[in-house]
Structure 1
């Protein structure tokens, strides 16, 4: 990883730590607005799949250790899968496969959600989750709908602004 990508990854990790704290300070729930997802998606699209994966794994892990958000169990393993795949898939589809942004962004978001569901299906009882995977997924999708809309609007605007 070139040093410029290392620096940019660190800045995006910092943004992924600060944005949720700001929202919680303002009384907004992270599960609704999904503020950590934006820097991770930007890492994948701007820096490529491996930086995206790294930012996607380190951001929720550091946030959990430093702030307790997301909770270590049951949420952190699900977010590690989701955000890791967000970052990797976004970078892979957009930079390596040259998919258009309007297709790569929702595909990365869907892949991340599916990865989270896979972890949930494989580890639900170990994580203390006693709901069917479909109901857990539906609840997360409905709760996070404002954040999903924000991502679909904000990510293209930011990428256009930074000329990526």
Structure 2
């Protein structure tokens, strides 16, 4: 088998695995006795960011966009009203992780840049949906509340993702 085909097949399979994780991991978090656990711990972000770092921006974008869309269709979480915002936000996390993963040596610094990119995308989506599309039920206060509510999730990401990226890259022979 051609090395290129094998590499592409491997990327497709791992992208599918990260996508499944992006759909199932938030459901597992709902077993925790924490109100609004998804908004607090941000479990859907983790697979998209990992896919971006390990497989590249295209895979990160696919996982990031499709995880909330499919999860909304299957489990009604995230709610339909905020699903487009999350889809674009998490897609940007995946894309940014893929890009900064190649440009910035420090996974910690790259992750911070990735988080900023995703939050900017989220804010822009709120502005578009409120001001340009006139979507009722949304306001900018929701955006700012999502940032403050998600601080524990950001801390969790900073604690988990860099060591996971380093370990998985080492296992994969990239170091």
Q: Normalized against structure 2, the TM-score is what?
A: 0.85
Question: How far did 1:66 drift?
Answer: 0.7
* Aligned-residue CA RMSD (Å): 1.6
For 1:42, the equivalent position in structure 2 comes to 50
Question: How far did 1:99 drift?
Answer: 4.3
Residues 1:51 and 2:68 are matched in the alignment: no
For 2:3, the equivalent position in structure 1 comes to none
Query: How many residues are paired up?
Result: 160
Q: Which structure's relative contact order is higher, taking Cα pairs within 8 Å and 6+ residues apart? A: 1
Q: The residue matched to 1:103 in structure 2 has which SS?
A: helix
For 1:65, the equivalent position in structure 2 comes to 73
Aligned with 2:32 (options 17, 22, 26): 26
Question: How far did 1:48 drift?
Answer: 0.4
**4+ residue runs of structure 1 moved beyond 6 angstroms?**
none
Question: How far did 1:128 drift?
Answer: 2.1
- For 1:22 and 1:143, the matched residues in 2 are separated by 19
**Cα shift readout 1:58-112 (whole Å, capped 9, x = no counterpart):** 1111111111100111x101101110100001101112x2443122111111101
Give unmatched runs, 5+ long, in structure 1.
Answer: none
Q: Is the 8 A contact 2:126 2:143 kept in 1?
A: no
Higher Cα Rg: structure 1 or 2? 2
Question: How far did 1:124 drift?
Answer: 1.4
For 2:85, the equivalent position in structure 1 comes to 78
- For 1:85 and 1:24, the matched residues in 2 are separated by 24
Q: The residue matched to 1:27 in structure 2 has which SS?
A: coil
